[in-house]
Copies of this chain bind each other. A is one copy, B any other.
Amino acid sequence: MTKQPTQQRARAKVRRILDTAKQLFLEGNYFEVTTNQIAREAGVSIGTLYTYFADKEAILAALLEEYDESFNDVFAHVDTQESFNLFRNDKKEWLGRLIDQLVNSEDRQFHLQIEMLARAVPAARQVQERHSERIKDLVHQCCLYYTNGGDVKNLKTLSTIIFDFTTALVDELLYTDHTSQERDRIRQSGIDSLTLIIERNIDQ
């Protein structure tokens, strides 16, 4: 875990190390980036890096923690009573907001890297699983709230499907090259499809 440096310069250094590390991890990949490289590009000595981070994995852990916090912040906007009501009244708007939150979440750029590390680094897997669980649960809660407690078994299946399809849509929007027109069309078509699925499975 990161020490709590009280001095501003220290904080700035930690910041620089983390930013540089994330940048390099994104450009290349965790295993091929060296600690000396991080220190050099962050403009600190390798010794300094190691006074703030116990080892290479601690840097990754700090980054994961930040990613986790950032996700939670973003998610808090969606996981509210107001959101439940919106789901009930305007599913398309609700889906649009959820997707935009996930897409725009600054740190979500880090998502792929975490997926890649999930297998090799336990901490990464934990974060990944926690987030999946949260989104899945949100979908589940919304449906539950909407139906006033309908058939739970079907709901579990439905929320899994909705979760999978939603994140697939988010990944398509994030990681594939599209013109902004195409992107809009895909986003809209995806939302329509998801709405269709939800309505067909819950209504009546």
Tell whether A161 is near chain B: CB-to-CB under 8 Å. Answer: yes
Closest-by-CB residue of B relative to A25 is B119
The 24 listed contacts between A and B (C-beta, < 8 Å) are A28-B120, A29-B31, A31-B31, A31-B32, A32-B120, A112-B119, A115-B116, A116-B119, A153-B185, A156-B182, A157-B185, A157-B186, A160-B172, A161-B193, A164-B168, A164-B190, A165-B165, A165-B168, A193-B193, A193-B200, A196-B196, A196-B197, A196-B200, A197-B197
Tell me the smallest distance from the CB of A31 to a CB of chain B, in Å: 4
Chain A residue total in the interface (Cβ 8 A)? 34
Docked complex: A69-123 residues within 8 A CB-CB of B: 112-113, 115-117, 119-120
- Give the contacting residue for A186; candidates B120, B161, B168, B186; CB below 8 A: B161
Tell me the smallest distance from the CB of A109 to a CB of chain B, in Å: 12
When distances are taken between beta carbons in the complex, the residues of chain B under 8 Å from A161 are 169, 186, 189-190, 193
Tell me the smallest distance from the CB of A136 to a CB of chain B, in Å: 10
Contact B182 A172 (CB under 8 A): no
When distances are taken between beta carbons in the complex, the residues of chain B under 8 Å from A158 are 189
Tell me the smallest distance from the CB of A103 to a CB of chain B, in Å: 14
Interface of A (DSSP majority class): helix
Which of A119, A153, A190 neighbours the largest number of chain B CB atoms within 10 Å of its CB? Answer: A119
Tell me the smallest distance from the CB of A153 to a CB of chain B, in Å: 8
Q: Mark A164-181, 1 if CB is under 8 A from B, else 0.
A: 110111011000000000
When distances are taken between beta carbons in the complex, the residues of chain B under 8 Å from A32 are 31, 120
Interchain CA distance A32-B56 in the complex, whole Å: 14
When distances are taken between beta carbons in the complex, the residues of chain B under 8 Å from A196 are 196-197, 200
**Additional 11 contacts, C-beta under 8 A, given A157-B182, A157-B186, A157-B189:** A28-B120, A29-B119, A31-B120, A153-B185, A157-B185, A160-B172, A161-B193, A164-B168, A165-B165, A165-B169, A168-B168
Contact B29 A120 (CB under 8 A): yes
Which of A29, A112, A153 neighbours the largest number of chain B CB atoms within 10 Å of its CB? Answer: A29
